[in-house]
Chains A and B, each alone.
Chain A
Amino acid sequence: MVIAAARSVLRRGFELIERPFDRLFGPTLNPLAQLGALGFFFFWIVAVSGIYLFIFFDTGIERAYGSVETITNDYWFHAGVMRSFHRYASDLMVVMVVTHLLREFAYDRYRGARWFSWFTGLPIIWLLYTSGITGYWLVWDKLAHYVAIVTSELLDWLPIFGEPIARNFISTGTLTSRFFTLMVFMHVAVPLFLLFIMWVHILRISRPKVNPPRTLAVLSLVALMAVSLWNPAQSQGHVDLAKAPVEVGLDWFYLPLYPLTDLWGRGAVWAFLGAFFVMLGAMPWLPPLRRAKAAAVDLAHCNGCERCAEDCPYEAIRMVRRTDGLPFPTQAQVNTSLCVSCGVCVGSCPSSTPFRRSEELRTGIDLPDFSLKTLRERTVAAAQSLTSSPRILVFACAHGGSAGRVGGTVVLPCVAMAPPSLIDFVLSRKLADGVVVAGCAESACYYRLGVAWTKLRFAGARDPYLRARVPRERIATVWASALETRRAAAEIDAFAATIAALPPPRLRSPAPPTPLAAPADELRVRESVESGS
C-alpha cells in the first residue's frame, strides 16, 4: 500500500518533467528515456578519460598529489580537461543510475519477469560507489584524506580486519607507495567488474539501449566540455597527516553518507545501508506482480519465421529445432520465466490474422488468458456497441491514457499485440469508420518496444506490415501516458472530427464468411430480413 502510494507520487513527478522534455527533445532524444544508455555512455567517458589520466599519474605516495596537480595546472588544456571529464562523467553516471532506478520503480517496471534487471542493478550501485571512492583516494589531497579516514573507519566497524585500517591515515610513516599501487589496482579492477555486471544487468532484455542517440551523445559531450572548461575539477590541497581533514568540499553524489557517520555513528550507517538494500532487493516481491499466463506456441500454426523471437522485448522466445516433423527448420519456444505476457509476439505472428476462416481462430503464438480469438470477439463486440457517428474504434494499451475509456474500446496488454491485419479487418469489414491505436507515452512504453514496433509495422518498415490498401487517413495513433487521459481523449475527439468530414469508405474486402466477422449494419439488415420486418 505504502509502496504503491510512493510509486504513484513518484510517477506523477516523473510525468511532470518528462512530458515537457518529450516536447522539447522529442521522444527519441528525451534524456529521461535514455537513462540506461546515458549510464553506459558516461561509463565509457570515464573509462577513456581514466586511461588517459593514468599516463600522467604517479602512484608514489609523495608524487601522487604532485602528478595530479601537474595534470590540472600545467597540462590543463588536455589532461586537465580529461580530469574534469573523468570527475563529472562519474557524477553524471551516479545521477543517471539513481534516476533510472527511481523511474523504473515509478513506472512499475521491476516486478514479475523484470526482477532480474532490478536485482542485478543493485550490485551496480555498490560497484559504482566503490569505483568513485577509490578514485577520490588516489588524488591524495585533503578530500582524499577525509575519504580515507571515514571509509576505513566504516570498514573497521565491521569485525573483518585485525588491525584498524584507519591507523594508516593518521600519522606519517605508516603509509607506503605500495598502498597507492593497491588503490590503482582497485580503481581499475572494480570498474571492470562493474562493466561485467552492467552486461549481466541487460542480459534478459532484447535490444537494450546501450548507446544514446547520436545527437544526444554529441550534445552531452559538448556540454561536458563546456562545464570542464568553466568549472575544472580541482584538488583541495596536499594531505597533512598531522592535521584532521575537518573541512572539505564533498562530492555530494558519491559521499552523501559520509557526514552521516558523524551524525548517526558508523553502526547506524551500516544498519541503514543494510536495511535499504535488503528492502530494494525485496522490492520485486513487495507484493509480487500477478502474472498472466505466458505466451504459448501452437506448432500447427508456427512456420518458424522468427518474427516473434525478433520482436519479443524480453528475450523470452528463442528458435529451436523443429520437433513436430513439419517441413520447417525451426520452431518458436517460449521461456515462461522471462515472458511478461505483453502479446507483442501475437501481433508479430504472420498467422495472427482475424480474416482466417477456420472455425476456431488460432495463431502460431498466443496468450492463453487473452487469445487472438478473444481479441477478435472483443473487437467485433466493441464495434457493435458504437452507435454515434462517426464510429471510432480504439485499441488501447492497458498502461496508456486511453485504458479507462468507456465504449468502443478494446484494451490490450500492449498495442503491439494487435496485428496490423486487425486494423485492416475493422476498416475493410466496415466495423468502424476510423481506428485509433492508443498506446503508452512514446518515451515510456511499458513493454519497451510496443510503441516502436507498432509505428514500424504501420509504416511498412517491419513485418507484419499494415497493408497498403488500408486507408491511412482512417487510422490514428495516440501516445499518451496513463496520466494524460484528457490529452488522449482530446486527440481521439479531434480524429473523430476529421473522420466525420471524410466521404464514406469504399468496401474493399469481400463479404464476411461468418456471422462473427459480419459488419454490424449488415447483421442488422439480415436480422430485419429474417424477422420479415
Chain B
Amino acid sequence: MIHPLRLMVQFAVILALFAAVSAFAARPVYRQTPPGSAVVVLTFVHGADRKADCRRLTPQEIAKLPPNMRRVEECPRGRRPLYVELDLGGRSVYRASLPPTGIAGDGPSRVYERFVMPAGEYDVAVRLRDTARTEGFDHERKGRIVLTPDQLFVIDFRSESGEFVFR
C-alpha cells in the first residue's frame, strides 16, 4: 500500500533534484573574456611555394623509369613553411613559422590564433612570407581598426588574390 504522504515526500525529493539540475543547465553564466574586450582572430590556410622548382629529367633518367611511369619533369612535392607576423597597436603579438601540413609536407600551412584585446583603436600590420626569400615579405597589409566590446575581428588571407582581408 502506497502511503500518500510518503509518496509526496518522495516526489518532493525528486523534484528538488530535478530543479537543481535544470538550474545548472544554464547557470551560472560563464564569461570567456573580460568585459569591454574584443577578440581578434588571425586565421587562414595557404600553401607556400614548393621547396624546389621542377627539374627536367635527362633522357637517361627517363629511360631508367618504368615505361608506364615515364615523365619529362620531376617536381618535388614538399612545401616551404610560411612565415607570419602580426602587430597590434604597434606591438608584435604573433610571429611564427608555420610548417606545411600532410605526411609528405606538401599540404598548405594553417593558422588559427585568438587574441583578446581591450576595445579601442589599433594599428594593425600583418605580414606573410611564402616564397624562398629570406628577407622581407611577399604579402602585407596595414590599417587602423576600431574594436568594439565583444567584437569578433577576423584577419584572413585569400590565396587566390594574394591579399589579406579584414572583417
Interface residues of A (CB under 8 A from B): 24-25, 29, 31, 84, 87-88, 91-92, 95, 146, 153, 156, 159, 162-164, 166-167, 170-171, 215, 219-220, 222-224, 226-227, 230-231, 233-234, 236, 241-253, 258-259, 262
- B32: A residues at CB distance < 8 A: 146, 244-248, 259, 262
Contact between chains at A166 and B112 (CB < 8 Å):
yes
- How far apart are the CA atoms of A215 and B14 in the complex, in Å? 12
- A95: B residues at CB distance < 8 A: 21
One digit per residue, 1 when the CB lies within 8 angstroms of any chain A CB and 0 when it does not, for chain B 22-33 equals: 111111111111
**Interface stretch (choices B35-43, B82-90, B124-132):** B35-43
Kindly identify which residue among B6, B18, B24 contacts A223, using a CB–CB cutoff of 8 Å: B18
Residue of B nearest to A30 (CB): B10
- B15: A residues at CB distance < 8 A: 223, 226-227
Distance from B28 Cβ to chain A, minimum over Cβ atoms (Å): 8
Contact between chains at A166 and B43 (CB < 8 Å):
yes
Beyond the given A24-B13, A25-B10, could you list 5 further A-B residue pairs with CB under 8 A, ordered by the A residue number?
A162-B101, A223-B15, A227-B15, A245-B32, A246-B39
- How far apart are the CA atoms of A287 and B7 in the complex, in Å? 43
Contact between chains at B11 and A87 (CB < 8 Å):
no
- Tell me if B107 is interfacial: C-beta within 8 Å of chain A: yes
Query: What are 7 A-B pairs with beta-carbon distances under 8 A?
Result: A29-B10, A159-B101, A164-B45, A247-B29, A247-B30, A250-B26, A253-B24
Evaluate whether A231 and B19 lie within 8 angstroms (CB atoms) in the complex, with A245-B32, A247-B29, A247-B32 already known.
yes
- How far apart are the CA atoms of A224 and B112 in the complex, in Å? 42
- A163: B residues at CB distance < 8 A: 45, 108, 110
Residue of A nearest to B110 (CB): A164
Distance from B88 Cβ to chain A, minimum over Cβ atoms (Å): 16
- B45: A residues at CB distance < 8 A: 162-164, 167
- Tell me if B97 is interfacial: C-beta within 8 Å of chain A: no
Kindly identify which residue among B9, B24, B151, B156 contacts A244, using a CB–CB cutoff of 8 Å: B151
Distance from A136 Cβ to chain B, minimum over Cβ atoms (Å): 11
Contact between chains at A162 and B10 (CB < 8 Å):
no
Contact between chains at B23 and A244 (CB < 8 Å):
no
Kindly identify which residue among B7, B10, B19, B152 contacts A170, using a CB–CB cutoff of 8 Å: B152
Evaluate whether A243 and B151 lie within 8 angstroms (CB atoms) in the complex, with A220-B14, A223-B18 already known.
yes
Contact between chains at B112 and A164 (CB < 8 Å):
yes
- B43: A residues at CB distance < 8 A: 164, 166-167, 170
Distance from A217 Cβ to chain B, minimum over Cβ atoms (Å): 11
- How far apart are the CA atoms of A238 and B101 in the complex, in Å? 35
Contact between chains at B21 and A24 (CB < 8 Å):
no
- Tell me if B93 is interfacial: C-beta within 8 Å of chain A: no
- How far apart are the CA atoms of A321 and B167 in the complex, in Å? 75
Distance from B101 Cβ to chain A, minimum over Cβ atoms (Å): 6
Residue of A nearest to B27 (CB): A249
- How far apart are the CA atoms of A247 and B30 in the complex, in Å? 6
Give 8 nearest A-B pairs by CB, closest first: A249-B26, A164-B112, A244-B39, A244-B152, A223-B15, A246-B32, A223-B14, A250-B30
Contact between chains at B107 and A162 (CB < 8 Å):
yes
- B110: A residues at CB distance < 8 A: 162-164
One digit per residue, 1 when the CB lies within 8 angstroms of any chain A CB and 0 when it does not, for chain B 148-166 equals: 0011101010000000000
Contact between chains at A247 and B10 (CB < 8 Å):
no
Contact between chains at B26 and A242 (CB < 8 Å):
no
- How far apart are the CA atoms of A253 and B112 in the complex, in Å? 28
- How far apart are the CA atoms of A245 and B39 in the complex, in Å? 10
Distance from A72 Cβ to chain B, minimum over Cβ atoms (Å): 13
- How far apart are the CA atoms of A171 and B155 in the complex, in Å? 10
- A233: B residues at CB distance < 8 A: 25-26
- How far apart are the CA atoms of A10 and B28 in the complex, in Å? 27
- B31: A residues at CB distance < 8 A: 246-247
- How far apart are the CA atoms of A244 and B17 in the complex, in Å? 34
- Tell me if B1 is interfacial: C-beta within 8 Å of chain A: no
Distance from B41 Cβ to chain A, minimum over Cβ atoms (Å): 6
Evaluate whether A244 and B150 lie within 8 angstroms (CB atoms) in the complex, with A24-B13, A162-B110, A166-B112 already known.
yes
Evaluate whether A24 and B9 lie within 8 angstroms (CB atoms) in the complex, with A162-B107, A249-B27 already known.
yes
- B154: A residues at CB distance < 8 A: 170-171
- How far apart are the CA atoms of A154 and B18 in the complex, in Å? 31
Residue of A nearest to B167 (CB): A171
- A162: B residues at CB distance < 8 A: 45, 101-102, 107-108, 110
Contact between chains at B14 and A231 (CB < 8 Å):
no
- B21: A residues at CB distance < 8 A: 88, 91-92, 95, 227, 253
Evaluate whether A223 and B11 lie within 8 angstroms (CB atoms) in the complex, with A162-B108, A163-B110 already known.
yes
- B10: A residues at CB distance < 8 A: 24-25, 29, 219
- Tell me if B2 is interfacial: C-beta within 8 Å of chain A: yes
Contact between chains at B152 and A242 (CB < 8 Å):
yes
- How far apart are the CA atoms of A301 and B84 in the complex, in Å? 82
Distance from A261 Cβ to chain B, minimum over Cβ atoms (Å): 9
Contact between chains at A24 and B6 (CB < 8 Å):
yes
- How far apart are the CA atoms of A231 and B18 in the complex, in Å? 11
- A164: B residues at CB distance < 8 A: 43, 45, 110-112
Distance from A143 Cβ to chain B, minimum over Cβ atoms (Å): 8
Distance from B26 Cβ to chain A, minimum over Cβ atoms (Å): 4
One digit per residue, 1 when the CB lies within 8 angstroms of any chain A CB and 0 when it does not, for chain B 97-132 equals: 000011000011011100000000000000000000
- How far apart are the CA atoms of A159 and B111 in the complex, in Å? 12
- A159: B residues at CB distance < 8 A: 101
- How far apart are the CA atoms of A247 and B39 in the complex, in Å? 13
- B107: A residues at CB distance < 8 A: 162
Residue of B nearest to A242 (CB): B152
- B156: A residues at CB distance < 8 A: 171
- A231: B residues at CB distance < 8 A: 19, 22-23
Distance from B7 Cβ to chain A, minimum over Cβ atoms (Å): 8
Evaluate whether A227 and B38 lie within 8 angstroms (CB atoms) in the complex, with A31-B14, A162-B107, A222-B11 already known.
no
- How far apart are the CA atoms of A156 and B113 in the complex, in Å? 11
Residue of B nearest to A90 (CB): B25
Distance from A398 Cβ to chain B, minimum over Cβ atoms (Å): 32
Contact between chains at B25 and A88 (CB < 8 Å):
yes
- How far apart are the CA atoms of A224 and B38 in the complex, in Å? 39
Distance from B100 Cβ to chain A, minimum over Cβ atoms (Å): 11
Distance from A240 Cβ to chain B, minimum over Cβ atoms (Å): 9
Question: Which of B102, B151, B152 lies at the interface centre, i.e. has the most chain A CB atoms within 10 A of its CB?
Answer: B152
Distance from A181 Cβ to chain B, minimum over Cβ atoms (Å): 24
